[in-house]
Structure 1
Amino acid sequence: MDILVLVGRILFVPLFLSSAVGHLTQSKGMAGYAAAKGVPLPQASVLGSGAFMLVGALSVLLGVWPDLGALLLALFLIPTAVFMHPFWKETDAGARQSEMIQFNKDLALGGAALMLLGLFSIAGDDIGLLWTGPLF
């Protein structure tokens, strides 16, 4: 089962690593998008969310306090779903559907991150192939 958890960790993080790189290297453009969505302090929010994703994804991938990494990803994903993809505000059917898809994706991934947090916290050191045990 350790291999199964490792493969799951490997498959879970590429989205966050590539998004983190985008947030950190294209922060001005992303800040403009965040500002259009009404995010306060858009530049700082983009850089902060990029850091959350980078640290969280590397933590889960490498198995260094993976429970903390999963928590960071959940703390990024759930607010992002609500603030960046408010499909209920869209009047255009196409935009509404697109935002609903993104909302549901972020919510589902946030739920998966919370499940990882629970798995790492409950199983603790019994999960192999981690560099450290859970922090919590």
Structure 2
Amino acid sequence: MDVLVLIGRILFVLLFLNSAVGHLTMTRTLAGYAESRGVPAAFAATAGSGVLMAAGALSVLLGVWADLGALLLAVFLFPTALLMHAFWKEGDAQARQTETVAFLKDISLGGAALMLIAFFSYAGHDLGLTITGPLFRIS
């Protein structure tokens, strides 16, 4: 089971690591897009979300307080879904569909992150292939 959990951790964080690199290397460009979506303090939000994704993804990947890492990813995902992918504001049908898919992706990944918080908090000390046990205790 340890190897399956490790493979799952690796696959789960690929999107976040890739996005974090983009947020941290193309901050100004991505901040312009965030600003066009109405995000306040777009530059700071873009850089901060890059750091949040990197920290959360590395925590889950390496198994260093992986429950906290999953929480950081959930904290990123739910507001991002609401702020960046507000499909209900789109007038164009194609744009609405694109934003609906992105919104649902973020909400679904947020749900998976919540499950990971519970999983790592509950079974974290019994899992192999992690550096630390969980930070939180869920019984």
Aligned residue in 2 for 1:80: 80
Instruction: Work out the CA distance in 2 between the residues paired with 1:126 and 1:94.
Output: 47
1:41 Cα offset (Å): 0.4
SS in 1 for 2:122: helix
Aligned residue in 2 for 1:29: 29
Instruction: Work out the CA distance in 2 between the residues paired with 1:35 and 1:92.
Output: 20
Instruction: Work out the CA distance in 2 between the residues paired with 1:98 and 1:13.
Output: 22
Instruction: Work out the CA distance in 1 between the residues paired with 2:124 and 2:30.
Output: 37
1:88 Cα offset (Å): 0.5
Instruction: Work out the CA distance in 2 between the residues paired with 1:72 and 1:91.
Output: 32
Instruction: Work out the CA distance in 2 between the residues paired with 1:134 and 1:100.
Output: 34
Gaps of 5+ in 2: none
Number of residue pairs matched? Answer: 136
1:60-79 correspondence to structure 2 within 5 Å:
60-79=60-79
2:134 is the alignment partner of 1:134: yes
1:3 Cα offset (Å): 1.1
Instruction: Work out the CA distance in 1 between the residues paired with 2:41 and 2:77.
Output: 18
Q: Give a deviation string over 1:30-77, Cα, whole Å, max 9, x none.
A: 000000011010000000000000000000000001001000000001
Aligned residue in 2 for 1:54: 54
> One-letter code of the match for 1:112?
A
Instruction: Work out the CA distance in 2 between the residues paired with 1:121 and 1:135.
Output: 7
**Which structure 1 residue ranges, 4+ long, deviate > 3 Å from structure 2?**
none
2:4 is the alignment partner of 1:4: yes
When normalised by structure 1's length, the TM-score is: 0.98
> One-letter code of the match for 1:19?
S
Aligned residue in 1 for 2:125: 125
Instruction: Work out the CA distance in 1 between the residues paired with 2:20 and 2:43.
Output: 14
Gaps of 5+ in 1: none
